[in-house]
Structure 1
Amino acid sequence: MADASKKELLYALIRDNPYIAQQDLAEALGLSRSAVAGHIAALIRERRLLGRAYVLPDRRPIVCIGAANLDRKLRSLAPLTMGTSNPAHADESFGGVARNIAENLARLGSKVALITAVGDDAAGAALLAHAAAIGIDTGATLKLADTCSGTYTAVLDGGGEMVVALADMALYDQLTPACLDIRATLRSNAAMVLVDLNLPRETVAALIDAAGRDQVPLIIVAVSIPKMARLPASLHGVRLVILNEGELAARVRRDLVTDSDVAAACRALQDQGARDVIVTRGALGVWYTSTDGVGHLPAPHAEPVDVTGAGDAFAAAVCHTLNLGGDLALACRRGLELSALTLACTQTVCPTISHETFRTPLLQD
């Protein structure tokens, strides 16, 4: 291929992802690093590039790293009977913990980038198009050939409570430390990095190390009890861990019977290096660490229509509030508010969420 064509392809890659590393460009185009540097220098001389993609502090994105799936929900129209066919209503939407949080953040008005993996199928193309339409930067997403995008299928009872869920998310194992290193510039320039535990354990460990080195706040969001095994032993460098009671019990390897048990488990995670911990307990509200020990906030009354996405909405409100300078208590109050809105909605991300959602809080700040 002629040098001019290589240069134009390189320019297109940079337009798609201004944070792309030279090594990534070299691998994509089959060029040496020195050849890539030469093309970049030529583009700068032509004033088609004005230098690397530095980001002003007030416009730094919250970078969400993890799953972006096609979600399928099957809601029973009658009491469920195991071992036989049940009448149900089916619904499809975009999901995945990191993607859901990113969408909530974007709707709240935060600048957001999403690092995930998608296949070369219609679902992957639709996921990326939907994200771009609501203002999420997906330029750093890993696109995998001959691979299906992730799927999550939940079975809900008539009251909207989840009975069982099945997830096909093996493609996120491709989000390796080396893959994330190529995207290090985006992460190091972030206002905050949020990671879900659909990532491989070694990737989570590498991101924790990088957060401490780059001094970028890192939020870890648990996704299930089995995937708690992906949380490394050392949490030094972690700003906040958000998880539910079952996931916390799995981490500390003991039952949590009383409030004192929950408080002690939170302190155990702090001893492992996490600065703060939030524990969601459904209708019992949330527990969060503070300078005075562990605080508690009751859950607001809600009439659940569908529980899917409520925890992701909570995490998004927490991150949005912390990024704007709010404290953890206010972040949790707003998390409960956004979670309640989502519980009352049939969609995974409530479409009425906007930058004005917290102007008149439903809960007393």
Structure 2
Amino acid sequence: MTEREIEILELIRNNPTISQEELAFELGISRSGVAAHIHNLMKKGYIQGKGYIVKVPEFISVIGGINIDIVGTPNEGLISNNSNPGKINYYVGGAGRNMALALSKLKINTNLMSVYGSDVNGERFVAESRKIGFNIECCERINGYSTSSFMYLEDQENHFRVGVDDMQILENITPEFINRYLQRINQSKYCVIDDNLPIETIQYIENNVNVPIIAKSVSVNKVKRLMCLLPKIELLVLSESELKELTQKDGGEIKPKAMNLISQGVGQVIVIKGNGNVLYFSKEDSYEIKGDVVPAYNRNGSTAVLTSAMIWAKLQNRYTRKEIVQLGYCGSVTSFLTNNSVFDGLNENLVLANYNQYFKN
């Protein structure tokens, strides 16, 4: 849609009985101009028939973090308590942003709801989003705050060693913030969240969001924030250590811990092991996908892309549960091709090509 068509559609959604004369007055254009835009909206399928019956396209709402990853990689072996010559790179990331961007690349209409700061990193996020055509209309700039950032060190083999995050700004994703977008969220096919959100915001989502929820954990320190939401989560994606923290069960096999979450109402659980294997659990079945693909760079962003690729596969309405997880995995391994959280070339054809290579041959 053009910007003018978006304006007209929003006015119609707010007042379905508005006349073309009133639209022309509101927009400061001619009635014939309005009529032409209405005709185009009908041709594109956004308006159906007379009376401005607005067709709401299927879309996903993602609520979560925008982050700037600051990555230090030494030229040689990492030496503790010492300066290490190497490279420092900046990447736009964040679990919420990564899931929303991956969904967009898979041609799923997506609204990212998040916050960024009034700093150079916030400007970097906005500039990159505009450059790639990424929708950030529901992202708000918060004055006086720095954009969320995560600084970490890799060793020479690109393995994560230690990190520090500064995510104070995410406390501004408050219940009041969510309320501003609640109507849009409840028109979504799914509401996707990460556990960067404050606990009171997750509780607000529990009480006010009435569409299926998909959740991705980002940290052992934050995963317990999801406890109140478990009965409403259709799909939960987390690491083995996050599973241990959430269930408060040390040692032993993964399956009993995952089934404990399912007994509390979670529909499906995906556990990512340290070796890259992907484990799936539901009431009906369970299985494991061997992580045989060796990362060319690192696994940064891969679980976010796995989550998004699974959502994309679910929306196709033609795949089995096992195929959906396999397609999720085929999306995730694209992140191994780059230090960017989401591979620039991610698309539906690439996911399907990986699927044919890894699971059909």
TM-score range, shorter chain: 0.7 to 0.9
Q: Distance in 2 between matches of 1:83 and 1:167?
A: 20
Number of the residue aligned with 1:225 = 220
**Does the aligned pair in 2 maintain the 1:17–1:140 contact within 8 Å?**
no
SS in structure 2 at match of 1:185 = helix
Give me the TM-score of the superposition, normalised by structure 1: 0.81
Give the deviation of 1:98 after TM superposition. 0.7
> How has the CA–CA distance of structure 1 residues 323 and 128 changed in structure 2, closer, same or farther, with 3 Å as cutoff?
farther
Number of the residue aligned with 1:237 = 232
Q: How does 1:270-281 map to 2 (within 5 A)?
A: 270-281=262-273
Number of the residue aligned with 2:359 = 364
> How has the CA–CA distance of structure 1 residues 137 and 120 changed in structure 2, closer, same or farther, with 3 Å as cutoff?
same
Deviations 1:255-279 (A, max 9, x none): 2433xxx111111111222111111
SS in structure 1 at match of 2:193 = strand
- Match for residue 344 of structure 1 among 337, 342, 350: 337
Give the deviation of 1:18 after TM superposition. 4.9
Q: Distance in 2 between matches of 1:314 and 1:16?
A: 36
**Does the aligned pair in 1 maintain the 2:185–2:191 contact within 8 Å?**
yes
What amino acid sits opposite 2:274 in the alignment? Answer: G
What amino acid sits opposite 2:247 in the alignment? Answer: V
- The alignment covers a number of residue pairs equal to 331
Q: Distance in 2 between matches of 1:281 and 1:149?
A: 30
> How has the CA–CA distance of structure 1 residues 287 and 310 changed in structure 2, closer, same or farther, with 3 Å as cutoff?
same
Give the deviation of 1:44 after TM superposition. 4.5
Which blocks of at least 5 consecutive residues in structure 1 are unaligned? 1-10, 23-41
More off after superposition, 304-313 vs 111-120: 304-313
> How has the CA–CA distance of structure 1 residues 127 and 303 changed in structure 2, closer, same or farther, with 3 Å as cutoff?
closer
Q: Distance in 1 between matches of 2:290 and 2:325?
A: 10
More off after superposition, 111-120 vs 338-347: 338-347
Q: Distance in 2 between matches of 1:16 and 1:343?
A: 42
Number of the residue aligned with 2:260 = 268
Number of the residue aligned with 2:186 = 188
Give the deviation of 1:15 after TM superposition. 5.0
Q: Distance in 1 between matches of 2:113 and 2:59?
A: 12
> How has the CA–CA distance of structure 1 residues 255 and 56 changed in structure 2, closer, same or farther, with 3 Å as cutoff?
farther
What amino acid sits opposite 1:337 in the alignment? Answer: C
SS in structure 1 at match of 2:222 = helix
Q: Distance in 2 between matches of 1:192 and 1:159?
A: 37
Give the deviation of 1:100 after TM superposition. 1.1
Q: Is 2:157 aligned against 1:178? A: no
Number of the residue aligned with 1:353 = 346
SS in structure 2 at match of 1:226 = coil
Give the deviation of 1:284 after TM superposition. 5.2
Q: How does 1:1-365 map to 2 (within 5 A)?
A: 15=7, 18=10, 44=23, 46=25, 48=27, 56-57=55-56, 59-211=57-209, 213=210, 216-258=211-253, 262-283=254-275, 285-325=277-317, 326-360=319-353, 361=355, 362-364=357-359
What amino acid sits opposite 1:275 in the alignment? Answer: G
SS in structure 2 at match of 1:171 = helix
> How has the CA–CA distance of structure 1 residues 340 and 358 changed in structure 2, closer, same or farther, with 3 Å as cutoff?
closer
Q: Distance in 1 between matches of 2:251 and 2:8?
A: 48
**Does the aligned pair in 1 maintain the 2:267–2:282 contact within 8 Å?**
no
What amino acid sits opposite 1:219 in the alignment? Answer: I
More off after superposition, 98-107 vs 318-327: 318-327
**Does the aligned pair in 1 maintain the 2:118–2:145 contact within 8 Å?**
yes
Number of the residue aligned with 1:31 = none
Deviations 1:207-247 (A, max 9, x none): 23333x3xx22111000100113213351221111001000
Give the deviation of 1:292 after TM superposition. 3.3
Give the deviation of 1:47 after TM superposition. 5.6
Q: Distance in 2 between matches of 1:17 and 1:73?
A: 43
RMSD: 3.1
Number of the residue aligned with 1:27 = none
Give me the TM-score of the superposition, normalised by structure 2: 0.82
Give the deviation of 1:66 after TM superposition. 0.8
Q: Distance in 2 between matches of 1:312 and 1:16?
A: 34
Which blocks of at least 5 consecutive residues in structure 2 are unaligned? 15-20, 28-33, 39-46
What amino acid sits opposite 2:25 in the alignment? Answer: E
